[in-house]
Structure 1
Amino acid sequence: MLKRELDARTEMSRGPDGRIDYNIKRDLANGEAVPFDGSGRFIMPGFPRFHAGITGHAFFWGTFDYIEIWDPKTLVETPGLPPKMISAARFHCHEKGIAL
């Protein structure tokens, strides 16, 4: 499903000359295989942690068919995110004694 959506988005990126901007795929279609342990946990690989600025805690936000993983402080400081998402991050950090 995600590959099909990415292919459609890439096709729509054609410029005035008809050429496709393949940077869309370079930017969006990457990842690493991540093994899960017997409890369903995984260790987030180094580059995604570095890129997202996650140095300690991570906040997971699920929306049906995908999840977002954020550094909580970055999330609450990012303009334009849904207020409910920010409130949930603040709440869960507060519950765990994590200062933002």
Structure 2
Amino acid sequence: MALEHLFQGSALNAVDAKGRVSIPAFLRGVIERRGDARTVVLAKHEAFGCLAAYDPAYAALKHAKLERLLEKEETSPDAQLEYQQRNLIAFAATEEVPYDSSGRIVMPPMMRRKGDIGDLALFLGTGETFQIWNPERLLKDPRIPDDLKDIARFRLEERGAAS
């Protein structure tokens, strides 16, 4: 199953005290082209200190990827346990959040904490999914390439919130 529409681009949006933030229109467009749900799924990113986000239809693709990984690792004695652990992380530790006609969601407190999201959210398209970062956290992460840090700095300067 290949994805026809991919998440691309970046944006920096304000998050209010109640956790309300607008999903950028270019990301909502992909969600809506992939399916009819006006919903985004949020999860703690498995490698970075941010949130992974995607449309509900992507969950089936994610499950298929985990199944293929299990098939590759079947000979390992720990394969079944690792498969179960991956499934728990991939599906139990998520929250499905609807967005309104203007694209606003209320970021659940647990997800906000998991992603260390403060008063700004940096949205980054990553193809199949997109990420939501605290821009200051991204700038401090040594694993993030300088070109991406430049995008974060540009978005902060654009908002007048440069550090």
TM-score bracket for the superposition, by shorter chain length: 0.7 to 0.9
Local SS of the residue matching 1:65: coil
Query: What is the deviation of 1:2?
Result: 1.7
Aligned: 1:5 with 2:65: yes
Aligned position for 2:17: none
CA distance in 2, matches of 1:79, 1:13: 31
> How do residues 10-29 of structure 1 correspond to structure 2 at under 5 angstroms?
10-12=70-72, 16-17=76-77, 19-20=79-80, 21=82, 22-29=84-91
Aligned position for 1:76: 139
CA distance in 2, matches of 1:64, 1:16: 31
Q: Which letter maps to 1:67?
A: F
Aligned position for 1:64: 127
Greater fraction strand: 2
Aligned position for 1:46: 109
Local SS of the residue matching 2:157: helix
Query: TM-score scaled to structure 2, two decimals?
Result: 0.54
Query: What is the deviation of 1:32?
Result: 1.2
User: Which runs of no fewer than 5 residues in structure 1 stay unpaired?
Assistant: none
Is the alpha carbon distance of 1:9 and 1:82 closer, same or farther for their aligned partners in structure 2, counting shifts above 3 Å? farther
Q: Which has the higher contact order (CA 8 A, sep 6+)?
A: 2
Aligned: 1:91 with 2:154: yes
User: Which runs of no fewer than 5 residues in structure 2 stay unpaired?
Assistant: 1-60
